[in-house]
């Protein structure tokens, strides 16, 4: 199946399934600044996924921020700094905690679940979860449609590529980019999962084929938003950078306090809200 | 302007602190460890053998871990228990086995593979039954790490005179508590950005999770503040620190919003053992990563002598 046909099929499946979101207020996380909700919404499968949603108090509309899930069983709750400035939605994809009724993802294991066939690969559904979250966020009346960002790893690129309503993309990590090469660099997880899977008898061709549908450099040409890519090795990221239309590059310093502050300020400036450091001096 | 190095962080020491933990250890001792190792061929490599490990801990719960040993060299190897952070799952510790350690990455109760019975979730663990020290969710969690060390102490392929602890954040905090509870067994501790130190002070210095969980709990249960303070005093690293005898490495990010540096400095001040402190300006919760890992590796190698 071609790349375009693969993803068109995901979009078609998603379009046929109503999200039926349910929101519940969380009093413990609701403050004078923002109201906090849990969200449960249907994605492909059908499967109910989970989100943490916060909406600033006061007169909107507000800029929107979608945080795509990291690789791991838990995602942090959106930080109060973000909750005070953005309509922020943090998604738990299928299998992550709070979205694990019926399917609990294994770590290690998730990265290679169903990977021998692109049609059964777990990340096909996870990508759909992100797209569903994007549709939900953009549909909220409190969100300013001209100011919607997505932040995260490759899933942020994929989401922005397939949902053109985003004006801004902030990429802070990479998982699928050149994964079949990156897996050879060390025995560190999660990419070591690919090596583990190959030791179990799978073929490199099968893995390469499936992963090619998720490599952000293949999605990048469709991204219309302003994009910031935080990179450790710009040379390594060359093909991704060249595929993105006019990306900005931030060279990570590994002084993560400084890095966090830069990334926060970059997005805040785009959306005309104050920059805020998580470390209160 | 904050002055983390000189800030005051105080924790009251419960009068029965030692008795409380002695009782927990005694409860554990009543159950045999009953470790079961299952070799995992696909996780193993040309240089490392990986096992799924299960053992019995406090309350009779079965706890999981990944155990990795080098193929090269001759047993017994130095043992290393790696302790996970709050939201992270333990990864298979192949990189430590490649350095010559028999490495056990433990999944304390509530982590995946150890959550059949106890599963408070994340968020959730930090405030689970936080009004009662005897049923606080962290009680068994702390003891699970102790039991992981006891598994290594019994292993014929581990030199029980060379066992160390390594972790960051929650892993750093539990490295301190475990070394305090097993002072004769632990040879060194590497603790990065230690969590669970100054537990009631930290939420006043940050709005980041997990400490924000305590602020949230008290937002809807404001009358519980004294009971919360009483409970967490039994679990605070500052009360464990004077009991640590093993050489200890502490490393801190001076702009850590997750575990405020004030609490890390307080831990360092409270330790009476041989201790080393590395601080990293402009760093947050990564506390010097990735460069600090070379410091950690050198520290562990000095005390545990892999490849000897």
A98 touches B: beta carbon within 8 Å: yes
How confident is the prediction for chain A on average, in pLDDT?
A: 97
CA B215 → CA A193, B8, B35, B210, B240, distances in Å? 37, 20, 39, 10, 24
Name which of B122, B212, B253 is nearest A97 (Cβ-Cβ): B122
Residue B163 has pLDDT above 90, yes or no: yes
Name which of B207, B219, B283 is nearest A255 (Cβ-Cβ): B283
pLDDT in tens, B3-34: 999 999 999 999 999 999 999 999 999 999 99
pLDDT for res B275: 98
Q: How far apart are CA A31 and CA B302, in angstroms?
A: 49
Residue indicated by tokens 């994964």: A179
pLDDT for res B139: 98
The DSSP annotation for chain B comes to ---GGG-----PPPTTHHHHHHHHHHHHHTS----EEEE-TTT--SSEEEEEEEEE-GGG-EEEEEEEEESSS-SPEEEEEEE--SSPPPPP-HHHHHTT-EEEEEE-TTSTTS-SS----TTTGGGTTTT-TTT-HHHHHHHHHHHHHHHHHT-TTEEEEEEEEEEETHHHHHHHHHHHHSTTT--EEEEES--SSSTTTHHHH---TTTHHHHHHHHH-GGGHHHHHHHHHTT-HHHHGGG--S-EEEEEETT-SSS-HHHHHHHHHH--SSEEEEEETT--TTTTTTTHHHHHHHHHHHHH-TT-
pLDDT for res A281: 83
A77 touches B: beta carbon within 8 Å: yes
- What is the predicted ipTM? 0.96
| Beta-carbon separation of B42 and A29 below 8 A | no
pLDDT for res A53: 98
Interface of B with A (CB under 8 A): 1-2, 41-45, 48, 87-89, 91-92, 94-95, 98, 112, 121-123, 205-209, 212, 216-217, 219-220, 253-257, 280-286, 289-291
Q: How confident is the model at residue B1 (pLDDT cuts 50, 70, 90)?
A: confident
Name which of B87, B257, B289 is nearest A278 (Cβ-Cβ): B257
Which sequence positions of B are flagged as catalytic?
Answer: 169, 256, 285
| Beta-carbon separation of A28 and B289 below 8 A | no
Where in chain A are the domains?
3-268
pLDDT for res A30: 97
Indicate which of A74, A232, A264 best probes the interface with B, i.e. most B CBs within 10 Å of its own CB: A74
Strand partners, A23: A39
Give the pLDDT mean for A150-158: 98
Taking only Cα atoms into account, the Rg of chain A, rounded to an integer number of angstroms, comes to 18
Q: How far apart are CA A274 and CA A264, in angstroms?
A: 9
| Beta-carbon separation of B280 and A255 below 8 A | yes
Is residue B184 domain-resident?
Answer: yes
Name which of A79, A108, A257 is nearest B282 (Cβ-Cβ): A257
Residue B307 has pLDDT above 90, yes or no: no
**Pairing outcome for strands B275-280 and B248-253:** parallel
Q: How far apart are CA A236 and CA A249, in angstroms?
A: 13
Is residue B261 domain-resident?
Answer: yes
- Count structural domains, chain B: 1
Residue B21, Ramachandran bin (φ over 0: left; ψ between -120 and 50: alpha; else beta): alpha
Is residue B30 domain-resident?
Answer: yes
Do A255 and A269 form a contact (C-beta atoms < 8 A)? Answer: no
pLDDT for res A246: 87
Q: Residue B129 maps to which CATH number? A: 3.40.50.1820
Q: Is B86 annotated as a binding residue?
A: yes
pLDDT in tens, A194-241: 999 999 999 999 999 999 999 999 999 999 999 999 999 999 999 999
Q: How far apart are CA A175 and CA A100, in angstroms?
A: 22
Is residue B150 domain-resident?
Answer: yes
| Beta-carbon separation of A189 and B92 below 8 A | yes
pLDDT in tens, B267-304: 999 999 999 999 999 999 999 999 999 999 999 999 99
What are the phi and psi torsion angles at B185 (to 5°)? Answer: -100, -25
Do A20 and A41 form a contact (C-beta atoms < 8 A)? Answer: yes
Give the pLDDT mean for A63-86: 98
Residue B308 has pLDDT above 80, yes or no: no
CATH number for the A3-268 domain, one of 1.10.3720.10, 1.10.1200.10, 3.40.50.970, 3.40.50.1820? 3.40.50.1820
């Amino acid at each position: 199946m071609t790349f375009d046909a693969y993803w068109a099929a995901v979009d078609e499946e998603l379009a046929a399934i109503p999200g039926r979101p349910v929101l519940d207020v969380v009093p413990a996380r609701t403050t004078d600044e923002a109201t906090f909700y849990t969200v449960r919404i249907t994605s492909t499968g059908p499967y109910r996924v989970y989100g943490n949603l916060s909406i600033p108090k006061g007169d909107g509309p507000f800029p929107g921020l979608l945080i795509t899930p990291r690789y791991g069983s838990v995602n942090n709750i959106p930080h109060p700094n973000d909750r005070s400035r953005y309509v922020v939605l943090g998604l738990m994809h299928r299998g992550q905690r709070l979205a694990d009724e019926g399917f609990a993802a294994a770590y290690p294991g998730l990265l290679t679940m169903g990977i021998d066939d692109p049609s059964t690969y777990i990340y096909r559904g996870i990508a759909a979860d992100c797209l569903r979250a994007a549709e939900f966020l953009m549909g909220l009346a409190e969100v300013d449609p001209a100011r919607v960002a997505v932040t995260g790893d490759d899933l942020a690129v994929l989401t922005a590529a397939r949902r053109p309503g985003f004006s801004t993309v902030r990429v802070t990590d990479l998982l699928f980019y050149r994964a079949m090469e990156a897996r050879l660099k060390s025995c560190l997880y999660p990419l070591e999962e690919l090596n583990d899977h190959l030791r179990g008898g799978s073929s490199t061709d099968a893995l390469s084929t499936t992963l090619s549908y998720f490599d952000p450099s293949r999605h990048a040409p469709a991204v219309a938003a302003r994009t910031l890519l935080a990179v450790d090795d710009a040379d390594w990221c060359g093909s991704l950078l060249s595929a993105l239309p006019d990306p900005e590059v931030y060279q990570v310093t590994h002084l993560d306090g400084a890095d966090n502050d830069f990334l926060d300020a970059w997005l805040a400036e785009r959306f005309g809200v104050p920059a805020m450091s998580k470390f209160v001096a | 302007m904050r002055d983390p190095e000189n800030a005051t962080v105080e924790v009251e020491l419960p009068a029965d602190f030692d008795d409380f933990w002695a009782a927990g250890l005694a409860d554990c001792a009543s159950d045999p460890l009953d470790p079961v190792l299952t070799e995992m061929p696909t996780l193993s490599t040309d240089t490392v053998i990986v096992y799924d490990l299960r053992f019995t801990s406090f309350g009779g719960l079965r706890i999981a871990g990944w155990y990795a040993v080098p193929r090269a060299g001759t047993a017994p190897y130095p043992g290393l228990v790696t302790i996970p952070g709050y939201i992270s799952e333990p990864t298979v510790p192949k990189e430590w086995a490649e350095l010559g350690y028999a490495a056990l990455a433990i999944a304390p109760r509530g982590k995946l593979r150890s959550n059949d019975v106890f599963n408070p979730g994340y968020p959730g663990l930090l405030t689970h039954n936080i009004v009662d020290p005897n049923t606080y969710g962290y009680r068994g969690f702390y003891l699970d790490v102790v039991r992981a060390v006891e598994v290594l102490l019994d292993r014929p392929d581990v030199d029980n005179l060379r066992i160390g602890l390594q972790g960051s954040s929650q892993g750093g905090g539990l490295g301190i508590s475990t070394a305090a509870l097993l002072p004769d067994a632990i040879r060194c501790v590497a603790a990065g950005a230690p969590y669970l130190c100054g537990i009631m002070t930290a939420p006043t210095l940050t709005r980041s999770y997990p400490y924000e969980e305590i602020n949230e709990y008290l937002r809807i249960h404001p009358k519980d503040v004294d009971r919360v303070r009483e409970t967490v005093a039994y679990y605070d690293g500052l009360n464990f620190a004077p009991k640590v005898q093993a050489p200890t490495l502490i490393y801190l990010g001076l702009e850590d919003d997750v575990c405020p540096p004030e609490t890390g400095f307080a831990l360092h001040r409270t330790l009476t053992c041989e201790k080393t402190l590395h601080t990293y300006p402009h760093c947050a919760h990564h506390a010097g990563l990735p460069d600090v890992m070379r410091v950690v590796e050198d520290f562990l190698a000095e005390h545990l002598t892999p490849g000897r």
